[in-house]
Amino acid sequence: TTPLLKGNIKFEQVSFTYPDTGIQALKDVSFEIEQGQFVAVIGRTGSGKSTLANLIMRMYDIDSGRISIDGQSLCQLNLNNYRSQIGFVPQEVFLFSDTIKNNIAFGLDQVTDAEIDNAAQNAAVYHNIVGFEQKFETMLGERGITLSGGQKQRVSIARALIKEPRLLIFDDCLSAVDTRTEEEILRNLGKIMKDKTSILIAHRISTIKNADKIIVLDDGKIIEQGNHEQL
């Protein structure tokens, strides 16, 4: 039996140093996210936003403090099961020299065309894809076409959404998407992630104004948290 992720996330005085550089990227960070919340993480470049996302994904072990997921210590969870329930969109989009379809379905065994269409719709990239001659069979990369930065980001978002994730983490993956398209994606997320937790690392005020909680990082520390009205 695989426990279903609820999406409660708690950081208690978490500090973390990158082992290779010795840079302490998070210092004494505490916050709590409840199931179903839409959380925005903001802060200047190098303030620790990606690090925070990476720690939720458990890419590294922390120096001190505690991270718990649904009340259980993150280091005790079955990592494969845990990660399989998270839709994580990294800052650096990674696409393969393969069809758009296979890029979206990456890592999944059985995917229907309807599920691929649906993920592409929700990521607001469907119309771009069906505009290509080969549609979802269009090859990317060396033997195919080159997508724009914003299209790449949206294919990467579709890849995360097709998993029907219980937790969604966007690491600054709307940077090359125009404001209107971004609004469309956020509206879609509002529906499909309604009772599930979403964490968006973002820059634009427009992205974060509807967040239940905004976490502001500066130099590895949380300097403010609250919603748009409170901050």
- The nearest distance, CB 132 to ligand ATP, in angstroms, is 31
Interacting residues of 69 by C-beta distance below 8 A, sequence separation 6+: 5, 8, 9, 10, 77, 82
Is residue 101 a contact residue for ligand ATP (CB under 6 A)? no
Q: Which of 8, 9, 39, 51 binds ligand ATP (CB under 6 A)?
A: 51
For ligand ATP, the binding residues in 158-197 under the rule CB under 6 A are: 172
Which one, 23 or 231, has the nearer CB to ligand ATP?
Answer: 23
Which one, 36 or 46, has the nearer CB to ligand ATP?
Answer: 46
Residue carrying the six token digits 């634009």: 204
How would you classify residue 209: left for phi > 0, otherwise alpha for psi between -120 and 50, otherwise beta?
alpha
Is residue 23 a contact residue for ligand ATP (CB under 6 A)? yes
Q: How far is 192 from 186, CA to CA, in rounded Å?
A: 10
- The nearest distance, CB 44 to ligand ATP, in angstroms, is 7
Only one of the segments 47-55, 110-118, 186-194, 205-213 lies at the binding site for ligand ATP (rule: CB under 6 A); that segment is 47-55
The DSSP call for residue 3 is P
Indicate the SS3 state at residue 165.
Answer: coil
Residue carrying the six token digits 């004494």: 28
- The answer to whether 62 and 15 have CB atoms below 8 angstroms apart is yes
Which one, 1 or 45, has the nearer CB to ligand ATP?
Answer: 45
Is residue 96 a contact residue for ligand ATP (CB under 6 A)? no
Q: Which of 6, 28, 46, 68 binds ligand ATP (CB under 6 A)?
A: 46
Does the CA dihedral 207-163-105-118 come out positive or negative? negative
Is residue 142 a contact residue for ligand ATP (CB under 6 A)? no
Strand-by-strand arrangement of the 24-33 sheet: 24-33, 9-17, 64-69, 72-73
Q: Which of 48, 87, 150, 165 binds ligand ATP (CB under 6 A)?
A: 48
Is residue 25 a contact residue for ligand ATP (CB under 6 A)? yes
- The answer to whether 215 and 48 have CB atoms below 8 angstroms apart is no
Which one, 21 or 112, has the nearer CB to ligand ATP?
Answer: 21
Q: Which residues bind ligand ATP (CB under 6 A)?
A: 18, 20-21, 23, 25, 43, 45-51, 91, 172
